[in-house]
Amino acid sequence: MRRRSRDAIVVGGGVSGLTTAVCLAEAGYAVRVWAAEQAADTTSYAAGAIYSPYLLDDDRAPEWAERTFDELRMLASDEDAGVSMVFGQEVSRAPAQPPSWATRVPDFRQCEREELPVGFTSGWSYTVPLVDMPVYLRYLQKVLVEKHGGTVERRRVSTLDEVAAEAPVVVNCTGLGARELVPDPALRPIRGELVVVSNPGINRFVAEHSQIDSELTYLLPHRDVVVLGGTADERRWDLAPDDKVAAGIIARCARIEPSLRGARVLDHRVGIRPARDRVRAERTSLNGDGTVLHNYGHGGAGVSVSWGCARHVVSLL
């Protein structure tokens, strides 16, 4: 195929790849997405996906997160997008201060002691986007293909050079795959596991602010189901669900919301977060022939900074 100046190939079909592909298409590029995996096999698919810039220490992240909040809030009005604005609480067992991003959410407020779940002493409430990732990834693909004429192909690549041979603009959104593809040894895995159960009638989220070793506790209502989490296991690569870990997740969440006891387990999801000391969101060249945009290393904040980071990367063109 002959390369044209406005051709772009995005490598990676998770939330960063698909969002960047849509932003490129909006900017007038003919976009193809090459993904080694189906959407259901990506880390993004397994995400709990509440707006919360987590496991990300980057001075650019607050701006990216605010832009993403606005985009997701608009998408919540589209019933096909899988995005909803959900009220809830972030709570702590000890006195704690909210993260700076939380205080910028429009309806943020500190909770009174009597509003908190049993066993918690401080907390705050707000309304933020909550994303049903299986639905949302399909939605982004549909927008790219049907609205902008893009394509999504299942294709594994071994070097960025082979991509550059077909398009002058290459976007590397491969997450942990960039560790070998670039290569980038600065990437490290943080394994996350969650459990999906039937919803006994919960309509607000609860997330524990503190983390005990690798254990996280949160419950996120998505209409008929509740996503329960979770874990943050540094440098653990395996993707097999751990029954003992899953039982611990359910028990922790049921202590906060007793109605979860006995809820029917529908699914176990495991994903590996691509962590890096600083997100790689930059423009480079490839042997003097073509442009490479890198967009990876978002830790646990891939969804929460997705639109802001994608628009930043596309602006580098």
**Strand 30-35 with 109-110, pairing:** unpaired
Q: Domain containing 64: what range? A: 1-82+132-187+277-317
Distance of CA 187 to the CA centre of its chain: 16
Regarding whether 297 and 232 lie in a shared domain, the answer is no
Regarding whether 78 and 162 lie in a shared domain, the answer is yes
- What is the enclosing helix (H) or strand (E) of 271? strand 265-275
What integer pLDDT is reported at residue 91 of this predicted model? 96
- How many folded domains does the chain comprise? 2
Specify the range with the lowest mean pLDDT, choosing from 178-187, 206-215, 259-268: 206-215
Distance between CA atoms of residues 85 and 88, nearest Å: 10
Mean pLDDT of the 196-207 span: 97
Regarding whether 284 and 179 lie in a shared domain, the answer is yes
Tokens 């942990």 locate to 176
Q: pTM of the prediction? A: 0.94
Regarding whether 286 and 138 lie in a shared domain, the answer is yes
Structure tokens at 11: 């490598």
Tokens 């604005």 locate to 85
* Reported confidence tier of residue 214, pLDDT bands at 50, 70, 90: confident
Regarding whether 34 and 163 lie in a shared domain, the answer is yes
Distance of CA 242 to the CA centre of its chain: 22
CATH number at residue 250: 3.30.9.10
Tokens 């590397």 locate to 172
Mean pLDDT of the 244-260 span: 96
Regarding whether 71 and 103 lie in a shared domain, the answer is no
What integer pLDDT is reported at residue 286 of this predicted model? 85
With 60 as the cut, is the pLDDT of residue 2 above it?
no
What integer pLDDT is reported at residue 236 of this predicted model? 86
Evaluate whether residue 89 is within a structural domain.
no
Structure tokens at 40: 């259901």
Mean of the per-residue pLDDT values of the chain = 93
Specify the range with the lowest mean pLDDT, choosing from 1-5, 123-127, 162-166, 292-296: 1-5
* Reported confidence tier of residue 40, pLDDT bands at 50, 70, 90: low
Mean pLDDT of the 35-50 span: 81
Regarding whether 197 and 183 lie in a shared domain, the answer is no
With 60 as the cut, is the pLDDT of residue 119 above it?
yes
Regarding whether 219 and 288 lie in a shared domain, the answer is no
Sheet holding 151-154, edge to edge: 151-154, 30-35, 7-11, 169-172, 291-296, 280-285
